[in-house]
Structure 1
Amino acid sequence: MPLPKSLLRRSNRRTSTSSSTGQSRRQRCRTCNNLDPRGHTSSVHPDDIERNAKTRLSLIIDALSLSQTKDVTNRGCRFCNVLIQALDVFFENWRGARAKIHVEIVEKATIKVSIDEHRYTGEVIEIYAGSASRAPWPTLGTAHHIPTNSGSDDTFNFIRRCVQGCVTNPKHTVCRFTCKSAISAPKRLLDVGRATSPIRLIDTQGKTFQYAALSHCWGTGLRLATTKSNWAKLAVQVSFDALPPLFQDAVIITRQLGLRYIWIDSLCIIQDSLRDWETESSKMSSIYQNSYITISATNSGDSNARCLIDRRKPVKIPYENTTKKELALRARRILDHHPSIDPNGGPAKPIGPLSSRAWALQEHVLSTRILHYTATELLFECKTSYRCECMPERKAYPTTPSLIPKAVSTKKTSAVYEAWQRVVEKYSARNLTVPSDKLPAISGVASKIRKATHSEYMAGLWKGNLASDLLWSVSPSKSVMDSYALDTWRAPTFSWASLDTAVTYTYLDDDEREVFTPTIALLSSTTTPKGLNPLGTLSDASITIRGPVFEAALCSEKIREAESYLLLIKDTSSIPVTPDCLLVETEFKTEATSEKQLTVRRAQFSESAHSFKAPVICLGVARYDNLVTGLVLGVSERVPTAWERIGTFGAGTEIMQKASEREMILV
């Protein structure tokens, strides 16, 4: 029997009527799911035990397909149209790109949109409701206001709340310190006085002061710096107008925070005095840790780029619901800086020119409290919590300044060594203007690790963690074809500091760490500092160790435009090698017979790749489970009685049946 007309009309009305997002599942856009986290096969729903958890949805949309979507006036999806308009404003030339668009949707939160393409790395569009009371659709949330100028009263008030929240919170025990040691105090500070008082350099004479510190890119342009000839003049007065724009901003920030003194490296270290530079740079650990706050000019490429700047305003995205009513919808560009939601995840990621500079990493790691001035907003970190202007509530997320204190608090030496390796991974991926600064620029962090472990420092490695530290390898993201040996000796080959490339370490889970067993013994070590900093520049270094060694032939061949290296051992399957850089064969003479023999070494920049097969030796460094991992070594040209590292290997423990104990020198 057919339904009565009254019921039929009611039924049709119920299935066709929709609000701006209350459409049936059949009517949802297959591309964007109406920007609703619910009702999709990939929707992630919270468990009952999760408090305040919300439904989430991650979408990957083809950029080319989205750019060809019909306009809403031609009955295209109004929600896809929102994405298109936002992308047009903030991502120039995205249309037609062969790229993937990532859309992260969370119930009652903002929508994050990013493009998986190198030129847009780290950039995110945030779409949000302009009014909480009249959201364009029910699942869309509002966003925190970000002032349009980083020098506004609102931003300075945010900074003061962050600092006071840290200083007065009894839970921030690791953020409290008292600088009592005269040797740890900066020798000089810039006295910024008040607006009506002269700015001048002062000698602290071992006294302690409450001061700010500036972390910044030097750049290549002209800058004001202290020298032997102008020190006396700067001690009388430093003209505000003579300061580069970034330093002027740093003075303003210092005064706004109620402080009188600031430490700026180029002004507080005599730049043409090697002795003064070595003495003061060796204090970096205490200078940044003991500063009241560090001002990080993250987005400034040099001292001429201000950090107190206007920011791009949010834009209004035209949006009408199905009843043709226009509702407030906004979009703004932010940077992908937030810490991982996972408690064991990574800390905040400030993005800008400074984040690629090697010297700046230890300034970040060692600071007690730090302000990051980025292009879009201000980030605050201390050794306990994190806040930013788009997420101003205090959160106990992991922070970079908390990395070492957190490891030390576990009272496990292994945790401290692991923290060191995490720092080295980040540090090795950064750039240095002066290559010889490789070890000095991380010596401040090294001094903290030495104090926590009481271990001997050996050119970037630790005696108490030698086996694990020796097993660094070049990051998989780096091409062997683009990496070479250094023209000038800087560190022994067993140290990551001997190369200009990003390195990584093997992550061991708890079970693997329990069975990780070193197979080497350190017999002796020598490190000869070149200057006054014992953790800085070296003139020589070596270690003498005993361990299991077996002989092999290293074979090089090109596979798919990339160099591949294999260990060939008689009666054994070939073993892949992770090279330290491009490798080449070379000849050497033995002392006993003066006959020429082949070995393998790291290639120089002027040398090109070619196929070869040459003898090497392999040193087993450690074993865990049924695996053994170690170093591939070639005869040293610099010290013919010693060996140089050229790569690492990993294999089953059966390979060590051919090994014999040997004592050797690594340089």
Structure 2
Amino acid sequence: MVLGRPLNVEETILLTQVRSSEQSWQGRLQQANSWIHHCLNNHQCSGGLAAKTFQNDYENEVGVKNDKHPEEGESSGASLRETSFLEVHRQISKLPRRVLDLRDFGSEKRLRLINSMADCGIYACLSYTWGRKNTGVTTTQNLHDRLDNLPFDNLPQTYKDAVTVAAFIEIPFLWIDGLCIIQGDADFKDWAELSSQMAEIYGNAVLVIAAADSNSVEEGFLSTPKLPQELVKFQSSALGSLENRSEGTGLSVFARAMLDHSWLGWSTLAEPKSRGTLSRSWCFQEEVLASRLLTFFGGEMNFQCLEDEYRCECAFPAAPLGLVTIKELYEPRLKLGDMETPNWMWQSTVEHYTRRKLTVATDRLTALSGVARVVQSSLRTKYAAGHWLDRDFLCSLCWAPVRNRETDRTYSQDYVAPSWSWAAHNGPITMWIPYGGSEEPGTPRFLSKTVVRNVGIIPATEDETGAVKGGGITASGVFLDISVLMTSRDQSAGVMVRSSEKIPFYFDRPTETVRDTDKYFCWIVCTLPSPPVSKKRSETYCLMVLRTMPGGPAHFCERVGFTDFDGTASDPSMKLFKGFRDSIRTAVII
């Protein structure tokens, strides 16, 4: 047998499962500790994505001031005692308003919450999935007791495991949203304030611990690997037997099942996983904003940092296979090329984010606000309900909802965003932004000088990248008078009718009804060159279906649907656009 030649089945004898890769959590965390210390000693990752500053030459049409007002508050008086971790790595940041104090956990098994608004220190964050019920949350009723003592045994298993990891690595403080944000207080004031600080909270953490494989706070993540990782030993009969293999005549081959690393690679910003934190909207920014991310997923630990480092327990060769982490995918987006715009960069972010699950519909913009703040500080561009006010703003309005049974079932009547924003849809969307840097750019064409004259947003809180309670755009362009017919029983599809011609489209929401008193318009947002049809020039028309607001002024509309229509000059449906120059007007879309 030639060394390196694949073994034939006849040559190979399955001997035994010789070793299990299951280890105690102490042994596994020692490995994680070495990864983290290597990063601390050799990389410049502190501050997370928010600390990455880039000089972009992109010319913004709208001036944006990024004045930051540090939060002021009274210190709890808790003095910070240095640990060995602090002595070696003096990368100290301002602590969040409350943190879980672990400094006495090793010696006394004592935990407590502390108010720490004016203190500095080193802390870790936990990224996890709540599940149906979280019994470990802090409320106004139990806050006082927890400032004195928080029994370890009373915590949900995922919280216990996070405490164990942080304490083992000698991180003195831990931030967990369920513990450190008061739940259910008057007007949710504590949550409203702290939810706008996620870029700082997760970015300043020395480590983010991600319980990525757990669907509930009760499941935990520090157990032995869930997937079998046993090594199986094979012996070639052609090279000797067990008796003489010690003499050098035998060849032993060890193999195991390959672990799941599909969450790495370009698919990271395509389709999210179906379970755990990799399926949740809130957890997306927790992953992106972190300086160092220790993930428990697929039966093993994985480590990523902002210096493009990736490590895992099975030594998976990510780099040679061309796979990249979510951090490698996202950080370069803060530096735009000459022809790129913030909205072009933002497209894949939105498409991925909207494919994740969100329990509370009104969190749609809030759960992405940390990433939006980081992007805004780097790109210096005004942000409006999920869109950037750049030269591609009009094209960013050309999003299409991906409707299915789940999105229709979970549709909420609560106000989330203006109808023209992708955030108004409660499920996946697709967005098309032309990339001007390509060899054959699909430059959009705007009929009759289509332009957005004004964008107004009313924030729901002081966070301008968070939730909104109102907003609208004033646009001038071609607004065709049309009639609309419903064509499907599930209220998902309709047709617009003008000059006896019909063009189908999809409604944005499942609750649409067509009334005789409704007045509809078709806004030709832009046109784009498309592949020729039978050697005939073809264009794609991006069409937004609008309906006037009941009881409001005639020029006040809301978006109810969208379609992209491909047609040539000889296409009969093009008659729908006949006389479009007579339909130039101004509308307010809310």
Determine what percentage of the aligned residue pairs are the same residue.
23
Structure 1 alignment gaps of length 5 or more: 1-17, 23-33, 37-76, 86-128, 132-144, 588-595, 600-615
Give the drift of 1:389: 2.2
TM-superposition CA deviations, 1:560-597 (whole Å, max 9, x none): x996544444376x43424324474432xxxxxxxx53
Say which of 508, 516, 525 aligns to 1:580: 508
Greater alpha carbon shift after TM alignment, 350-359 vs 419-428: 350-359
* SS of equivalent residue, structure 1 residue 550: strand
1:316–1:328: 8 Å Cα contact kept in structure 2? no
> Structure 2 CA distance, aligned partners of 1:624 and 1:177?
36
Amino acid at match of 2:100: L
Asked whether 1:148 is paired with 2:22, we answer yes
1:619–1:630: 8 Å Cα contact kept in structure 2? yes
Residue 219 of structure 1 aligns with which residue?
Answer: 131
Say which of 508, 519, 522 aligns to 1:618: 522
Say which of 151, 165, 187 aligns to 2:97: 187
2:454–2:473: 8 Å Cα contact kept in structure 1? yes
The TM-score with structure 1 as length reference comes to 0.67
Residue 30 of structure 2 aligns with which residue?
Answer: 157
Amino acid at match of 1:196: S
2:492–2:509: 8 Å Cα contact kept in structure 1? no
Residue 632 of structure 1 aligns with which residue?
Answer: 545
Give the drift of 1:470: 0.8
Amino acid at match of 1:270: I
Sort the Cα spacing of 1:130 and 1:21 in 2 relative to 1 into closer, same or farther, 3 A: farther
Greater alpha carbon shift after TM alignment, 299-308 vs 445-454: 445-454
Give the drift of 1:152: 3.9
Residue 597 of structure 1 aligns with which residue?
Answer: 517
1:213–1:263: 8 Å Cα contact kept in structure 2? yes
Amino acid at match of 1:159: A
Amino acid at match of 1:234: R
> Structure 2 CA distance, aligned partners of 1:218 and 1:552?
47
Write out aligned runs for 1:122-521 (5 A): 147-149=21-23, 151-153=25-27, 155-169=28-42, 182-183=70-71, 185-194=95-104, 195-197=106-108, 198-273=110-185, 274-311=188-225, 312-315=227-230, 328=253, 330-332=255-257, 334-337=259-262, 339-340=264-265, 352-385=275-308, 386-391=310-315, 395=319, 398-410=324-336, 414-464=340-390, 465-475=392-402, 478=404, 482=408, 486-506=412-432, 508-509=434-435, 510-511=438-439, 513=441, 515-517=443-445, 520-521=450-451
> Structure 1 CA distance, aligned partners of 2:511 and 2:117?
52
Give the drift of 1:188: 1.4
Write out aligned runs for 1:45-64 (5 A): none
Sort the Cα spacing of 1:222 and 1:314 in 2 relative to 1 into closer, same or farther, 3 A: closer
Greater alpha carbon shift after TM alignment, 272-281 vs 317-326: 317-326
> Structure 2 CA distance, aligned partners of 1:427 and 1:597?
37
Give the drift of 1:253: 0.9
Structure 2 alignment gaps of length 5 or more: 53-67, 72-93, 243-251, 530-538
2:47–2:205: 8 Å Cα contact kept in structure 1? no
> Structure 2 CA distance, aligned partners of 1:404 and 1:481?
27
Residue 97 of structure 1 aligns with which residue?
Answer: none
Indicate the RMSD between aligned Cα atoms, in angstroms.
Answer: 4.0
2:434–2:442: 8 Å Cα contact kept in structure 1? no
* SS of equivalent residue, structure 2 residue 36: helix
> Structure 2 CA distance, aligned partners of 1:665 and 1:653?
31
Say which of 519, 533, 544 aligns to 2:474: 544
Give the drift of 1:265: 0.8
> Structure 2 CA distance, aligned partners of 1:231 and 1:173?
31
> Structure 2 CA distance, aligned partners of 1:376 and 1:213?
21
TM-superposition CA deviations, 1:422-466 (whole Å, max 9, x none): 222222122222222222212212222322333333222222242
> Structure 1 CA distance, aligned partners of 2:410 and 2:273?
30
* SS of equivalent residue, structure 2 residue 372: helix
Amino acid at match of 2:229: P
**Bigger RCO of structures 1 and 2 (CA < 8 A, at least 6 apart):** 2
Give the drift of 1:250: 0.9
* SS of equivalent residue, structure 1 residue 334: coil
* SS of equivalent residue, structure 2 residue 284: helix
* SS of equivalent residue, structure 1 residue 648: strand
> Structure 2 CA distance, aligned partners of 1:229 and 1:480?
36
> Structure 2 CA distance, aligned partners of 1:348 and 1:377?
21
* SS of equivalent residue, structure 2 residue 103: coil
> Structure 1 CA distance, aligned partners of 2:480 and 2:270?
42
The TM-score with structure 2 as length reference comes to 0.74
Residue 68 of structure 1 aligns with which residue?
Answer: none
Sort the Cα spacing of 1:276 and 1:584 in 2 relative to 1 into closer, same or farther, 3 A: closer
Give the drift of 1:313: 3.6
TM-superposition CA deviations, 1:87-146 (whole Å, max 9, x none): xxxxxxxxxxxxxxxxxxxxxxxxxxxxxxxxxxxxxxxxxx999xxxxxxxxxxxxx99
> Structure 2 CA distance, aligned partners of 1:181 and 1:493?
31
Amino acid at match of 1:167: L
> Structure 1 CA distance, aligned partners of 2:343 and 2:7?
45
Amino acid at match of 1:661: I
* SS of equivalent residue, structure 1 residue 643: strand
2:49–2:374: 8 Å Cα contact kept in structure 1? no
> Structure 2 CA distance, aligned partners of 1:181 and 1:390?
45
Sort the Cα spacing of 1:146 and 1:278 in 2 relative to 1 into closer, same or farther, 3 A: farther
* SS of equivalent residue, structure 2 residue 130: coil
* SS of equivalent residue, structure 2 residue 126: strand
Amino acid at match of 1:619: W
Asked whether 1:535 is paired with 2:460, we answer no
Give the drift of 1:632: 1.6
> Structure 2 CA distance, aligned partners of 1:500 and 1:648?
16
Amino acid at match of 1:620: I
Sort the Cα spacing of 1:303 and 1:237 in 2 relative to 1 into closer, same or farther, 3 A: same
Residue 85 of structure 2 aligns with which residue?
Answer: none
Sort the Cα spacing of 1:507 and 1:532 in 2 relative to 1 into closer, same or farther, 3 A: closer
Sort the Cα spacing of 1:470 and 1:19 in 2 relative to 1 into closer, same or farther, 3 A: same
Residue 499 of structure 2 aligns with which residue?
Answer: 570
* SS of equivalent residue, structure 1 residue 285: helix
> Structure 1 CA distance, aligned partners of 2:179 and 2:472?
37
> Structure 2 CA distance, aligned partners of 1:242 and 1:167?
33
Amino acid at match of 2:499: K
Give the drift of 1:192: 0.4
* SS of equivalent residue, structure 2 residue 432: coil
> Structure 1 CA distance, aligned partners of 2:504 and 2:346?
28
Write out aligned runs for 1:40-79 (5 A): none
2:491–2:510: 8 Å Cα contact kept in structure 1? no
Give the drift of 1:664: 0.5
Give the drift of 1:300: 1.8
Sort the Cα spacing of 1:149 and 1:638 in 2 relative to 1 into closer, same or farther, 3 A: farther
